[in-house]
């Protein structure tokens, strides 16, 4: 998909990856970028100076996502590209509280489900559209120190796969973005930890890679190409990969 003259929605646009993508999409000639975030002031700051509008949205609420889609379609026109990008991290394992598990599940998984639920029928009826779901390399591998993050990002990848398989013949393109460490608020407290083992990427650099991948209509977007090698090692010998990850876990726990 060429982004020129497109209407694009980006959730989590107040900062980090979302802000970088929104600004890059506008630079690529998008007719309108909708900067959606629970932080309306931050979304407005992203939208300032570009062809964009800011809308307050809590992606943990289906009604908010439904209203976002209906508002954009009614006020501005058909959504060409919907970037379901907002996400959070929660530390810990199975002992994390039920409230933490539910919140990260709603934001990291159900937000993608709700966007597809309300937008796919519209896109299918008009012959196509594009969904970009932000997951993580943790959804292909795992996340040391965070079961909720690893589990929800695996689910996000699985959903993107299903959407691509099920709706591809309706003209709906799907990409899933799976970066490792990106310099955002989520990684600010742990710049040298597990997540940055292959280096910390800047959001603007990642946004450029996303644009190129959307133009090529690639399903799996890997800003850190070494993740593909890790995936191959994992599938070639799962037991050996688990053993290697246990060593890595001991390294960072110690």
Q: Consecutive 10-residue runs of the chain (254 residues): their mean pLDDT?
A: 98 96 98 98 97 98 98 98 96 97 98 98 98 97 95 98 98 96 67 57 94 98 95 97 94 80
Q: Identify the active-site residue in 130, 149, 230, 238.
A: 149
The pLDDT of residue 51 is: 95
Contact between 146 and 92 under an 8 Å Cβ cutoff? The reply is yes
149 is catalytic: yes
The pLDDT of residue 193 is: 47
- List 112's β-bridge partners, or say none: none
Question: Helix 147-167 vs helix 98-105: angle between axes, to the nearest 10 degrees?
Answer: 30
pTM: 0.93
Contact between 206 and 191 under an 8 Å Cβ cutoff? The reply is no
SS3 assignment, position 5: coil
The pLDDT of residue 191 is: 45
Domain residue ranges in the chain:
7-226
* Six-digit token string for 186: 């989520």
The pLDDT of residue 213 is: 98
Conformational region of residue 184, where left means phi above 0, alpha means psi within -120 to 50, and beta covers everything else: beta
The pLDDT of residue 184 is: 66
The pLDDT of residue 35 is: 98
Contact between 115 and 82 under an 8 Å Cβ cutoff? The reply is yes
The pLDDT of residue 192 is: 46
The pLDDT of residue 199 is: 74
Pick the CATH number of 7-226 from 3.40.630.10, 3.40.50.720, 3.30.350.10, 1.10.3720.10: 3.40.50.720
Q: How many angstroms separate the CA atoms of 159 and 139, rounded? A: 11
């Amino acid at each position: 998909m060429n982004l020129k003259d497109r209407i694009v929605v980006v959730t989590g646009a107040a900062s980090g990856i979302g802000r970088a993508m929104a600004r890059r999409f506008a630079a690529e000639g998008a007719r309108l970028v909708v900067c959606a975030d629970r932080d309306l002031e931050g979304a407005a700051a992203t939208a300032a100076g570009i062809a964009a509008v800011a809308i307050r949205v809590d992606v943990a609420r289906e009604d908010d996502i439904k209203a976002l889609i209906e508002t954009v379609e009614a006020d501005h026109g058909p959504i060409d590209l919907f970037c379901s990008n907002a996400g959070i991290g929660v530390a810990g394992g199975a002992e994390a509280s039920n409230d933490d598990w539910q919140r990260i599940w709603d934001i990291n998984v159900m937000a993608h489900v709700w966007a597809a639920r309300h937008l796919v029928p519209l896109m299918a009826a008009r012959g196509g559209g594009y969904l970009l779901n932000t997951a993580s390399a943790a959804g292909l591998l795992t996340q040391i120190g965070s079961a909720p993050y690893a589990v929800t990002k695996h689910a996000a990848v699985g959903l993107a796969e299903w959407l691509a398989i099920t709706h591809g013949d309706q003209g709906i393109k799907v990409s899933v973005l799976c970066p490792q460490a990106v310099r955002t608020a989520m990684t600010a407290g742990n710049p040298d930890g597990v997540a940055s083992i292959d280096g910390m990427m800047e959001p603007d650099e990642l946004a450029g890679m996303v644009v190129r991948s959307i133009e090529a209509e690639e399903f799996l977007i890997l800003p850190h190409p070494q993740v593909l090698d890790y995936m191959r090692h994992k599938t070639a010998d799962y037991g050996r990969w688990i053993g290697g990850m246990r060593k890595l876990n001991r390294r960072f726990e110690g």
